[in-house]
Structure 1
Amino acid sequence: MCEVLSAICTSPIGRLTISYCLQGLHSISQISTINDRSFLPHANQSIEYELPCDIDDPILDSCREWLDDYFHAGVHPIKTPKLCPTVIMKGNSFQENVWYTLLKRVPFGHVITYGELAKLAGNTGAARAVGTAMRRNPFQLIVPCHRVICSNGKKGNYAGGERNSVKVWLLKHEQIENCK
């Protein structure tokens, strides 16, 4: 059983909550009060942890480095922070397989449709199930659900439609502007 700790950090898309244990990240997501009405991005905002938290923790260090590379280096970070195997493990379930496939096969600056991702994850007819997996994704940004779009080129809903402006901002950040 994992002893889960948490930290909050600043980022260009607002404050992020990070849950983790000694084995890796359990989740990373924007704080719950961020939505389309309250979203105020700040592209130059540095990645800093709010105290109190163990700033010298290797899991938090790798997460901060990843976020800093993602937001400020303008490229897809090469080294993914360690993800706890109790949360995601390749082949454990269709949902986890979708997350793992998205993480490993859809690089920075690219998009994929729900149907294409279903096919890559091993179930051609499961586009709707991919949508459910995206809604349940515990690793915002790291498992890049913002890169999954509808087959008609529309962006689709992000965070159940509550944070569509965040998805638009992230796609523009990655210079993906051909979505409707």
Structure 2
Amino acid sequence: MFSRSLTDVTPEYLIRTDSPLGRIEITSDGTSITSLAIEREGHLPWEELPENSTAVLETAVAQLEEYFGGTRQEFDVPVTLGGTEFQRAVWAELDAVPFGNVVSYGYLGQATGRATAGRAVGGAVGANPVPIIVPCHRVLASDGRITGYSGGNGIPTKVWLLDHEGIPHR
């Protein structure tokens, strides 16, 4: 089940779509995507709210359908990411990882100037508010192992995404 903090702001725009991973819920501020959640144990974070779509949400759904259908390898919808400066730096690095490729947590630490901050890097990857579009599933341990995934049903969701992109993993 999803939990929200008291600081979570009710989204103005929201849409849901089906996917091979379960239902997906996407929110927007009207001009960009602000969050994407993959169903976990039959629940979504804002499931009590009615859908209220906008053009950017419709574009995101279309691009996700193309991705899941195997015809899209990168997303070009605008995304607004909150978070700390460090989290945004990690997410920018994630956004640069091409389809079918991976990076390690160590690489992300070095790329963001915190080579010894493994836990902080892992925390930032896990806190990515827009998984799939900002591809946090493309991060593996340096030996190719899957060490976790916070989206959807966790590791099985990550395995599906990696397999979908033809990324070897352990």
Q: Same fold, TM exceeding 0.5? A: yes
Summarize deviations over 1:22-79 as a string: whole Å, max 9, x none: 13111001123259xxxxxxxxxxxxxxxx6345x211122012202211134412x4
Q: In 1, are the aligned partners of 2:40 and 2:153 still within 8 Å (CA)?
A: no
The unaligned stretches of length 5 or more in structure 2 are 1-8, 44-49
Work out the number of aligned pairs and report it. 157
Runs of 5+ in structure 1 lacking a partner?
Answer: 36-51
SS at match of 1:28: strand
Match of 1:59 in 2: 56
Distance 1:53 1:135 in 2: 26
Match of 2:106 in 1: 115
Aligned: 1:144 with 2:143: no
TM-superposed CA distance for 1:2, in Å, is: 8.9
Question: Is 1:155–2:163 an aligned residue pair?
Answer: no
1:13 aligns with 2:21: yes
Task: Report deviation, 1:167.
Answer: 0.6
Instruction: Tell whether 2:76 aligns with 1:80.
Output: yes
**Distance in 1 of aligned mates of 2:12 and 2:156:** 30
TM-score (ref. length: structure 1): 0.76
Structure 1 residue 18, shift from structure 2 partner = 1.0
Give 2:13's aligned amino acid.
L
**Alpha-carbon distance in structure 1 between the residues aligned to 2:152 and 2:36:** 18
Measured in 2, the distance between the counterparts of 1:160 and 1:132 equals 13
Counterpart in the other structure of 2:163 = 172
1:40 corresponds to: none
Pairwise CA RMSD of aligned residues? 2.6
Secondary structure class of the residue paired with 1:81: coil
Measured in 2, the distance between the counterparts of 1:17 and 1:108 equals: 22
Worse overlay, 109-118 or 61-70:
61-70
TM-score by length of 2: 0.80
Per-residue CA distance 1:108-146 (angstroms, 9 max, x = gap)? 000110011121223222222110011111101011111
Runs of 4+ in 1 over 4 A off after TM superposition: none
